A and B are shown apart, each in its own frame.
Chain A
Amino acid sequence: EPEVTQTPSHQVTQMGQEVILRCVPISNHLYFYWYRQILGQKVEFLVSFYNNEISEKSEIFDDQFSVERPDGSNFTLKIRSTKLEDSAMYFCASSGGSSYNEQFFGPGTRLTVL
């Protein structure tokens, strides 16, 4: 069964450093998403991406964040200068194919900013 994959599973970085979180969505999906979950809190929408551009973004997704689909398979989230409060689990999701209204989530990347 196709699935969304994410790497790395855990990333530790120093405050101020740039990080790139990687995702491989399901191959025939057209819509891609990033979500954030601060420990013990709810899952929050960051951004959605379609046709090589951002289709929607939340207030959380400020200039520190960017997304890219550098090739036909990867979907990345970059945080330019990490802050302590960026520590969270980041989930990638994709939708499309035969199940347009269901998002399939990856296993998440736990980002720890020291």
Chain B
Amino acid sequence: AQKVTQAQTEISVVEKEDVTLDCVYETRDTTYYLFWYKQPPSGELVFLIRRNSFDEQNEISGRYSWNFQKSTSSFNFTITASQVVDSAVYFCALSEDNYGQNFVFGPGTRLSVLP
């Protein structure tokens, strides 16, 4: 069965610092999909990125970047020049199914960005 681990329970940084959130996954499938979601204090789940297992290119979107390393089964998320609005819980998730089923979330990392 698939599993997602986010070893960092809570992280605090000061505004403008860079921060990396770790995600390690386990799966027996060769085809799978990885996701990051943000959950701000208001509670909704905000989609950030989807990556399939065949695409190991790193991705950058503004201040966000993701580092996918199949060799270490990791899909880490970096926020550059963090802002107070980045304060949220961030979830990494894994799906082994082509139709979005078998969706497993990690335990989440609570990021606090202090002014």
Where the two chains meet, the residues of A that have a C-beta atom closer than 8 Å to any C-beta of B are 30-31, 33, 41-45, 48, 50, 55-56, 89, 91, 93, 95-96, 99-105, 107-108, 110
* B77 interface residue (CB < 8 Å to A): no
Chief secondary structure at chain A's binding surface: strand
The residue among B35, B91, B101 with the most chain A CB atoms within 10 A of its own CB is B101
Using a Cβ–Cβ cut-off of 8 Å, how many residues does chain B contribute to the interface with A? 23
* Contact assessment for B43 and A101 in the assembled complex, using a CB-CB cutoff below 8 Å: no
* B52 interface residue (CB < 8 Å to A): yes
* Contact assessment for A43 and B91 in the assembled complex, using a CB-CB cutoff below 8 Å: yes
* Contact assessment for A31 and B99 in the assembled complex, using a CB-CB cutoff below 8 Å: yes
Contact of B45 among A44, A91, A100, A110 (CB under 8 A): A91
User: Which of B56-64, B66-74, B102-110 has 4 or more CB atoms under 8 Å from chain A?
Assistant: B102-110
Where the two chains meet, the residues of B that have a C-beta atom closer than 8 Å to any C-beta of A are 33, 35, 37, 43-45, 47, 50, 52, 91, 95, 97-108
4 more contacts with CB within 8 A, not counting A56-B102, A100-B99, are A33-B103, A96-B100, A104-B47, A105-B45
* Contact assessment for A95 and B43 in the assembled complex, using a CB-CB cutoff below 8 Å: no
* Contact assessment for A43 and B102 in the assembled complex, using a CB-CB cutoff below 8 Å: no
A50–B104 CA distance with the chains assembled, in angstroms? 18
Interchain nearest-CB distance for B98 vs A (Å): 6
Contact of B106 among A30, A42, A108 (CB under 8 A): A42
